[in-house]
Amino acid sequence: MELNAALNVPLTADRRRDDGQSLVGSRCERCQAASFPARAVCPRCGTAAPAEEAFAPTGKLITYTTVHVERPQMPVPYTLGQIAIDEAGPLVFGQVRAQGHQLAAGLPVRVIVAAAGEVPRYWFVPA
């Protein structure tokens, strides 16, 4: 396995996380594993420098929880969920902005990418 190619990948903090409309991560050209955020080495097969990819802006809510503990710039309560991004995208963890009666496993969602400097940087809403 040639891992030297991973040395040329930008540091995690310097990699793009979005393109203004959808999340950006990586996909391994060997095994097709998708990762968010992008990885320098594929977590499934160990191939160095997976290709950068913009993922589908839609997905399905897998599971969720409501948080009642404050975080800076995050008024409580808020909902966090695990999203399966469409078109063989990765599993992504993020805020879900939906009314309690709308929340259910399998709910179709779409990503909203915030303006630079906003917190959180992205969230999900019902599609």
Q: Which residue has the tokens 């191939």?
A: 47
How much is the pLDDT for 99?
Answer: 84
Condensed to tens digits (0 to 9), the pLDDT of residues 60-103 reads 999 999 999 998 888 899 999 999 999 999 999 999 999 888 89
The last residue of a domain, from among 16, 35, 54? 54
Do 23 and 62 belong together in one domain?
no
* DSSP β-ladder status, 91-96 and 122-126: parallel
Do 36 and 85 belong together in one domain?
no
Positions of E strands within the chain: 24-27, 34-35, 51-54, 58-67, 78-85, 91-96, 108-113, 122-126
Do 32 and 66 belong together in one domain?
no
Q: How confident is the model at residue 54 (pLDDT cuts 50, 70, 90)?
A: very high
- How many domains does the chain contain in total? 2
How much is the pLDDT for 101?
Answer: 85
How much is the pLDDT for 36?
Answer: 96
- In the sheet where 24-27 sits, what is the strand order? 34-35, 24-27, 51-54
Condensed to tens digits (0 to 9), the pLDDT of residues 1-26 reads 477 777 877 788 888 999 999 999 99
Do 84 and 113 belong together in one domain?
yes
Residue 41 in contact with residue 48, Cβ under 8 Å?
A: yes
- Give the residue-averaged pLDDT of 26-34: 95
Do 76 and 93 belong together in one domain?
yes
Is the model more confident about 34 or about 6?
34
